[in-house]
Structure 1
């Protein structure tokens, strides 16, 4: 089978956009999943900043574009379609050099028939900065797609250090107050030892769990949950968020940072556990 069986394992799945897909991957191997949407992603209340960024793009103002998330590109294209200029925006993107942080923006680019100029060697801000280190951006304007809650001055400063002029946009928002009751229940279940794994696929999920715990007087339960529950992280950014809040990552994919490798990493860990017990 290429990994351990998940039968009888209760796995908390705090995914948002791909919740059912990710949970289904676990269930195929026998897991009982507890679905808990942590962060709901929404369009901007006011699309004007995204529209202004697209105006600059289509006017030829950007020499380069940096995409940090696939969701960001999709939300920009939603605004473009609403304005009746999807084809124009795709053509304008195609005339730029596109740097991407990881596989999700690559997938979003392929959905509109484009590909990246360069993929960061690691799906992190540091990885993007490393990709830019080989580029002379002197006199170039760089459109930078950010994500909510992180103005990422580190990345913007790195663009400036290479001679470029960054123009940032954050084209979506998080509805962080959604599903609070479910998040509270998840924290209590983790603290009580009723969850075998929690599988984080984005750092806002980790922060959301902690924020709900603090707001609802469940700080002790949060700490106990992080002690009592094995934590799976999809990649280094998520792992850093876990460690920052006092957790320990039990398992993470070694190189390919998305959902299927995370499922396989959990299965491999359980297979090693079984082998050790038999030994």
Structure 2
């Protein structure tokens, strides 16, 4: 397949770097692979273990799943309690932010009860506040950082009793030399497209550039280098740095639609 011949793409994917890059290369692109963050299990699983026990005991009426990765980690922590934990999830109303947690639920033999219209925390909140929340016990599976703080605050403001769990952590210690080399390639305008698939990638790239006094040069380069964003969450993260993406999927915000969007943009 030669749909992307002549296009060199910086692929700062984390967990699924090789899969995403391979999809682009199969379409004819040349890729520069740069893992920016690593996802790690918790160093101390005490809080997660307590959360699993409470889920098994039926303490939550609803569970909001923001990431597939988070649910996978909870299932792994459950160990011998997996069957009981999955049964507990089955008794809850399950709300998903996007396709990844929905996919993991299906792998467990479960299905979402509510899917947010857009894969954002704000959209999850909008979907839930259409019904009464006063006194409702809601578990919210978060991701590292404070990107979903407004969701938690909004649920509490509507009277819900909210419990949160963040089941994994980011290790932003990917090879700094490799990250810096990718930054210099962008600054030198040797990259035809940067394809961001998660907000931590953006923060990590900007942080490394700042540490080496290259932040201004990087932001200037990103202002006139085409940037692809996998969806609204990444678009919002880019906007914090004054970066406007050139393309994004219209729906189904994950890698395959992003590849199709890149092909459509390149072939215009």
TM range (shorter): over 0.9
- Tell me what 1:52 maps to: 50
Q: Answer yes or no: is the 8 Å Cα contact 1:187–1:221 preserved in 2.
A: no
Q: CA RMSD of the aligned region, Å? A: 1.3
**What is the aligned length?**
268
1:6 lines up with 2:7 in the alignment: no
Query: Counterpart of 1:118?
Result: 114
Moved beyond 2 Å, runs of 4+: none
Following the alignment from structure 1 to structure 2, what is the Cα–Cα distance between the partners of residues 126 and 120?
Answer: 9
Q: Matches of 2:18 and 2:148 in 1, distance apart?
A: 30
TM-score by length of 1: 0.93
Q: Once the two structures are superposed, what CA deviation does each residue of 1:119-146 show, in whole Å capped at 9, x if it has no partner?
A: 0011011100111022212222111100
Which of the residues 81, 84, 89 maps onto 1:85? Answer: 81
In 2: Cα distance, 1:187 partner to 1:139 partner: 49
Alignment partner of 1:251: what SS? coil
- Please state how far the C-alpha of 1:220 moved relative to its aligned partner: 2.8
Number of the residue aligned with 2:173: 177
After TM superposition, give the deviation of residue 227 of structure 1 in Å: 2.6
Q: CA deviation at 1:29?
A: 1.0
3-state SS, counterpart of residue 144 of structure 1: strand
Residue 100 of structure 1: how far off its partner (Å): 0.7
Structure 1 residue runs without a partner (length 5+) = 273-279
Matches within 5 A, 1:179-258: 179-258=175-254
Correspondence 1:106 to 2:118: no
| Post-superposition offset of 1:247 | 1.3
Deviations 1:149-172 (A, max 9, x none): 126331112212332100001000
Is there any run of 5+ residues in structure 2 with no aligned partner, and where?
A: none
Judging changes above 3 Å, is the alpha-carbon distance between structure 1 residues 151 and 230 closer, same or farther for their aligned structure 2 residues? closer
Offset of 1:206 from its aligned partner? Answer: 0.8
Q: CA deviation at 1:62?
A: 0.4
CA drift of 1:194 comes to 0.5
User: 1:151, 1:35 → 2: CA distance?
Assistant: 26
Counterpart-to-counterpart distance in 1, 2:158 and 2:132: 6
1:46-78: per-residue Cα shift (whole Å, max 9, x none)? 011111111111111001000000000001111
Find the counterpart in structure 2 of residue 133 from structure 1.
Answer: 129
Classify the secondary structure of the residue corresponding to 1:99.
Answer: strand
Q: Which stretch shifts more, 241-250 or 36-45?
A: 241-250
1:190–1:224: 8 Å Cα contact kept in structure 2?
Answer: no
